[in-house]
């Protein structure tokens, strides 16, 4: 998993890496004013909120009747993809069409939709809200990608990535679309491709770059899917669902219904959750 991206330009220091994980990227649910971070109760910086006009413009990009375009076959109704192993995606649960006016809602206040405590004998379900243009998400993948792959390989967890697109209004949707293209065309390469592209956050990868990485590194031809923007509407849907669930930033990570608060290493925290589940 821990493949060094060919286009990775600068390495984060350990101090910077910790800062990135603790602070995170801004999301639609944050109320802080731009460029005015404040300390929250846990001593972490608040995130900047994207301009409301940008959010309104994004919402208007969908079809007038609310119906969106193509939905990847492995997608969930919450806008994610669930990995049952490093090379396998679970069958999708999303409808053939999704509607921005009819978003799934959480059954439990304060817990995002689709989260669930594991039944006895089931793997722990980990949900990761990420943005391919978020430097903090790049650091998360760099720090914990191998751990997630190992646990997936051992069958102790399933991992659902829900890719948001608020950090960069052009690059984030294009990369999210490419992730969906890979999930559809070559699901066995979805995880390493997501990992590599996310770690290349600082380079502003073009659609041509995204297609080239898929072809050169994974032998997958997703160029037409990328060029056509086949799943751009689905990328918007995922972000809208996350906004409805008031996700405060990325990376935001849950195990079962418990949220990682970033005050300890994720792998250590996840092992604690696994131990509690085993008990």
261: domain CATH number is: 3.40.30.10
Number of domains in the chain: 1
Under the phi-then-psi rule, with left for phi > 0, alpha for psi from -120 to 50, and beta for the rest, what region is 75? beta
Taking the C-alpha atoms of residue 159 and residue 203, their distance in angstroms, rounded to an integer, is 26
The three-class DSSP label of residue 189 is helix
Rg (CA), the chain: 17
- pLDDT value at residue 11: 31
Spell out where 40-174 has E strands.
80-85, 88-89, 124-130, 157-163
pLDDT the model gives residue 37: 36
pLDDT digits (tens, 9 = 90+) for 41-74: 333 333 334 444 444 444 444 334 445 578 999 9
pLDDT at 255: 96
In the predicted structure, residue 213 carries a pLDDT above the cut 90: yes
The answer to whether the beta carbons of residues 25 and 172 sit under 8 Å apart is no
Report yes or no: 114 and 81 within 8 Å, Cβ to Cβ.
no
| d(C-alpha 113, C-alpha 89), whole Å | 20
Q: Are 29 and 246 in contact (CB under 8 A)?
A: yes
107 lies in a domain?
no
H-helix or E-strand containing 207?
A: helix 207-218
Residue-wise pLDDT for 145-185, tens only, equals 999 999 999 999 999 999 999 999 999 999 999 999 999 99
Classify residue 217: in a domain, yes or no: yes
17 occurs within a structural domain: no
Asked if the structure places residue 90 within a domain, the reply is yes
Domain of residue 215: give its range.
46-98+113-278
Bigger pLDDT: 124 vs 5: 124
In a domain, 84, yes or no: yes
Highest mean pLDDT (candidates 7-11, 102-106, 142-146): 142-146
How does strand 157-163 pair with strand 124-130?
parallel
Whether 20 is covered by a domain: the verdict is no
**pLDDT given for residue 26 in this prediction:** 62
Q: How far apart are CA 73 and CA 184, in angstroms?
A: 7
What pLDDT was estimated at residue 44? Answer: 34
Task: Check whether 40 has a pLDDT greater than 50.
Answer: no
Reported in sequence order, the residue ranges of the chain that DSSP labels E, i.e. its strands, are 25-26, 80-85, 88-89, 124-130, 157-163, 249-250, 252-255, 258-259
Q: Quick one: pLDDT band at residue 20, thresholds 50, 70, 90?
A: very low
The pLDDT score that the predictor gives to residue 251 is 97
Distance CA 30, CA 48 (A): 7
What pLDDT does 8 receive? 34
As a whole number, mean pLDDT of residues 201-217 equals 92
User: What is the maximum alpha-carbon separation in the chain?
Assistant: 50
Which of these, 27, 269, 33, lies nearest to 129 by C-alpha position? 27
Does 38 fall in a domain?
Answer: no
Q: Per the domain annotation, does 31 fall within a domain?
A: no
Name residues whose C-beta falls within 8 Å of residue 40's C-beta, 6 or more positions apart in sequence.
46
């Amino acid at each position: 998993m821990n493949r060094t991206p060919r286009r990775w330009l600068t390495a984060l220091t350990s101090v910077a890496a910790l800062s990135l994980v603790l602070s995170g990227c801004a999301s639609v649910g944050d109320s802080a004013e731009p460029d005015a971070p404040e300390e929250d109760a846990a001593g972490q910086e608040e995130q900047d909120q994207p301009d409301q006009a940008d959010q309104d413009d994004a919402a208007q990009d969908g079809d007038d009747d609310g119906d969106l375009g193509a939905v990847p076959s492995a997608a969930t109704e919450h806008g994610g993809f669930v990995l049952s192993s490093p090379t396998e995606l679970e069958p999708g649960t999303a409808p053939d069409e999704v509607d921005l006016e009819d978003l799934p809602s959480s059954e439990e206040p304060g817990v995002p939709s689709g989260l669930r405590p594991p039944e006895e004998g089931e793997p722990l379900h980990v949900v990761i809200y990420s943005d391919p243009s978020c430097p903090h998400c790049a650091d998360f993948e760099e720090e914990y990608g191998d751990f997630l792959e190992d646990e997936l390989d051992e069958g102790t967890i399933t991992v659902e990535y829900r890719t948001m697109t608020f950090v960069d209004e052009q690059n984030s949707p294009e990369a999210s679309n490419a992730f969906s293209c890979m999930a559809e065309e070559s699901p066995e390469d979805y995880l390493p491709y997501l990992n590599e592209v996310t770690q290349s956050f600082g380079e502003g990868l073009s659609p041509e770059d995204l297609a080239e990485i898929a072809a050169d590194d994974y032998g997958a031809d997703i160029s037409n899917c990328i060029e056509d923007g086949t799943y751009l509407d689905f990328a918007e849907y995922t972000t809208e669902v996350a906004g409805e669930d008031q996700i405060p930033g990325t990376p935001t990570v849950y195990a079962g219904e418990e949220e990682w608060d970033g005050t300890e290493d994720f792998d250590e925290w996840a092992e604690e959750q696994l131990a509690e589940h085993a008990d």
